[in-house]
Structure 1
């Protein structure tokens, strides 16, 4: 059953990615709030994803970034959708954005797809089935030491110098090998799962930013907690993902 859900997520994410490619040269832009952009592409991608999954699973619930919210239905299934994670990057033609789709069963993440249409890379995961990139099995980097780690963080939209998130970012810079800010939480998590990044943290994400990526990291052997090392909850904007438990513990000591 989980393999079937993974296949559905794969197909839906590719449909969303196709929409993003189609719209990439002809969208207009509005603002949800200062520096929080949305385009027609966001809505068009979400529409095709939702229509595809709803036809296949008419009794499932849905939660999507662009105003999509249907109550969880039979079996406690809910699809959590980000039709374009990294909108600012997309708007500027910076090729670091993705479609992200996660599936919960009774609040537990069981299937995930993150699709990067610029590289045609499909990251998939299923509970107990591992994680893959274009069908190749994924494993985190295994890095244990912050000083040798490539880390990435998400900062709040329109952040100020006084924001605690900025303080955490600055506190990590002299400790890690390198610290980046990229603009797509979904791809950050996928890259931790793939061993391209060693760790990622944020306290400003929404469920659709995290759902698919959290399962990918876990199924690739990584660790996901809060920034203070507590139990991760999808509805709470507090996440730290690391390649290993040792790296997670060192990151917590620096950031908490």
Structure 2
């Protein structure tokens, strides 16, 4: 299915509003767990809490009641590799991260969110990112623009890396002297400022909102970035794989920027070995 296909055949407004409602539902769950968080490790340095599971359960039930024939892919689903929900096809698929920024949440750092997107045949049609601490909901629909609550958004318009403030993400197993570290250093020394905020979905929403000029990461998953990639595209930005090749939602090694010229400089800075 082509991105240029008319949105008339897709209920984008309904899907966007459903993403918003689902994210807010998950956010209510997260708020109810604040101050009583118990975490465990899924893998070394990769935390999960009961709040993650409770948020996802509530969102899955909400979506399942409204769209019983649609597929659902969530971070905490633990689906086998061959499960149909892991594959993009002509079926409508909802992509959920019930708590993006779990480590921040565990430590009481108020930078985490819930994010939901809807995808079909490799095209993201709508998505939302909800920050329950700030009560901010970023949302987008193909053909409908990108918004923060009721305010339309546009990227910062920053053209040069030397003037840019960017954020970066690292995999849980980043090692000294690794390519990830080398890439971070390369961008750090060429940009105005760097941040590591701990939530990929919020970072991407911030690029769409003009709060950040760009973002890059290797250790992210489909559910971390699905909504944010659409937001940046609709806000006039550019998204690719970290090497500048076309972005692949199934293998999201991401470089995103508010403008094409800044994106080109960012990709050049990331081209280290």
TM-score band by shorter chain is over 0.9
Equivalent in the alignment of 1:204? 219
For the 8 Å contact 1:102–1:113, the answer to whether it is kept is yes
CA RMSD of aligned residues (A): 1.4
Equivalent in the alignment of 1:182? 197
- For the pair 1:254 / 2:265, whether they are aligned, the reply is no
Equivalent in the alignment of 2:97? 82
Deviations 1:137-181 (A, max 9, x none): 000000000000001110110321122111100111110000111
For the 8 Å contact 1:13–1:115, the answer to whether it is kept is yes
* TM-score after normalising by structure 1: 0.97
Distance across 1 between alignment mates of 2:173 and 2:103 = 12
Of 51, 55, 80, which residue of structure 2 is paired with 1:45?
55
Distance across 1 between alignment mates of 2:207 and 2:166 = 9
Distance across 1 between alignment mates of 2:16 and 2:90 = 17
Distance across 1 between alignment mates of 2:178 and 2:150 = 40
For the 8 Å contact 1:171–1:255, the answer to whether it is kept is yes
- For the pair 1:20 / 2:35, whether they are aligned, the reply is no
For the 8 Å contact 2:237–2:256, the answer to whether it is kept is yes
Helix, strand or coil for the counterpart of 2:211? Answer: coil
More divergent stretch after superposition (27-36 vs 8-17): 27-36
Distance across 1 between alignment mates of 2:37 and 2:215 = 30
The runs of 5 or more residues in structure 1 that have no matched partner are: none
> Mapping of 1:226-237 within 5 angstroms?
226-237=241-252
* TM-score after normalising by structure 2: 0.91
Distance across 2 between alignment mates of 1:75 and 1:53 = 18
Helix, strand or coil for the counterpart of 2:228? Answer: helix
- For the pair 1:105 / 2:115, whether they are aligned, the reply is no
Equivalent in the alignment of 1:124? 139
How much does 1:75 deviate? 5.1
Distance across 2 between alignment mates of 1:39 and 1:24 = 11
Q: Which runs of 4+ in 1 moved over 4 A?
A: 72-75
Aligned residues: 256
Of 159, 162, 167, which residue of structure 1 is paired with 2:182?
167
The runs of 5 or more residues in structure 2 that have no matched partner are: 1-10
How much does 1:27 deviate? 2.4
How much does 1:209 deviate? 0.6
Helix, strand or coil for the counterpart of 1:173? Answer: helix
Deviations 1:56-97 (A, max 9, x none): 000000111002546359951001100000000000111100
Distance across 1 between alignment mates of 2:144 and 2:252 = 26
Distance across 2 between alignment mates of 1:231 and 1:140 = 20
